[in-house]
A and B are shown apart, each in its own frame.
Chain A
């Protein structure tokens, strides 16, 4: 397996960041492995990490009286979590590995510290997180339409 410093530059989320910036971010990161069925984080817990999925699949879930409801999945190359960036830094969903999952986990306090110390890096990171948020928001809006549920065309 490649080291974090080798892996990050090829990841679409980090594309365009220069080598020193990637090295700076990699200083906040560790590799983690989560078995299928185990939680990465739970709703209400401090959002102290940010994950880049290297392999496997993570389900973003909401707990309900009838069981967990999966609202999204993150696969190889996806990132998980943005609550680490926005006060009060608390997870609003659960995240569970549905397949054996390897990820790069970033320490949120470390990342925030580096962003504050280096506003250009902070802006670059914020742009990337905003893009992920934008894509997820768009997807959520389209899914609200329930396109496959409502027959399209004339109901006949």
Chain B
């Protein structure tokens, strides 16, 4: 190995690196998912894969611009490159989505709690996603599909803004046609060629064929959407403790030190982002918390 490449790989252990020092990863592939969203496939320079639990996030660093928390969207059951699906919403994410193959990015983590999709084994697994919220849920679905026989019904309800904003369309088709996932998609704004549903993702819940008393529900999307979805699920009979949401706040350090992501007694970067609704419901009812 050339001396410079050896140096670029940096220290090889967490202890040596320190918790705030990112590991360098190279963008191997950039996939344009929608108009404003791309998936980056990253390889670690040191060759050491980054194991993660479905639902965890990393702090992704566009060097010289800033660092943001981004959920991992790849397959947790297959060690290999790291996948992040990023939406262009600000200066750092703008730099990230413009990263071409070969760009070096920094990665800290993985951080936070996972979905624990396998806790739903023996029953039905319901995944409810809104917008970019499908990205953190993709690893949970892939994990469940790797153990397909352990579950009853696998149901994915997905709400997007328009048909052009539907993420992972190839995955959705494959999950539905080849893996027996009951996929139902709705959009807020239809287009003349769209023959699918138009309406809120909550409108899909009464139609979905899961057994509420024996279901684990995983929900991710804008917080207002998650609140309505959680309420609808509980109304349908899913116990609040079996509804898990992925919460988002202003995560900075990722290790529970800085307090930016505090939600009353919780630091969402370490206590979350995935939490059960029975714990979150009282907090979500507090204005501006």
Contacts and interface: CB of A to CB of B under 8 A. Distances in A.
A147 B131 contact: yes
Q: How large is the interface on B (under 10, 10 to 19, 20 to 34, 35 or more residues)?
A: 35 or more
A149 B90 contact: no
B199 A73 contact: yes
A68 B224 CA distance: 29
Contacts of B199: 72-73, 139
Contacts of B224: 142, 145, 147
A141 to B, nearest CB: 10
B103 to A, nearest CB: 18
A75 B225 CA distance: 22
Nearest to A149: B161
Contacts of A143: 188, 200
Nearest to B192: A67
Nearest to A99: B195
Interface string B237-251: 000000000001110
A49 interface: no
Contacts of B91: 156
B221 interface: yes
Interface residues of A, number: 28
A27 interface: no
Contact of B165 (A68, A75, A148): A148
A71 interface: yes
A61 B68 CA distance: 40
A146 interface: yes
Interface of A: 36, 57, 59, 67-73, 75, 77, 98-99, 139, 142-143, 145-149, 151-156
Given A72-B198, A147-B222, 18 more contacts: A36-B195, A59-B190, A67-B192, A68-B192, A70-B189, A70-B191, A71-B198, A77-B207, A142-B228, A146-B161, A147-B225, A148-B131, A148-B161, A148-B188, A148-B222, A154-B90, A155-B90, A156-B93
CB-CB nearest 6 A-B residue pairs: A70-B190, A148-B131, A151-B89, A148-B161, A156-B90, A147-B222
Interface of B: 66, 68, 87, 89-93, 130-132, 159-161, 165, 186, 188-192, 194-200, 202-203, 207, 221-225, 228, 248-250
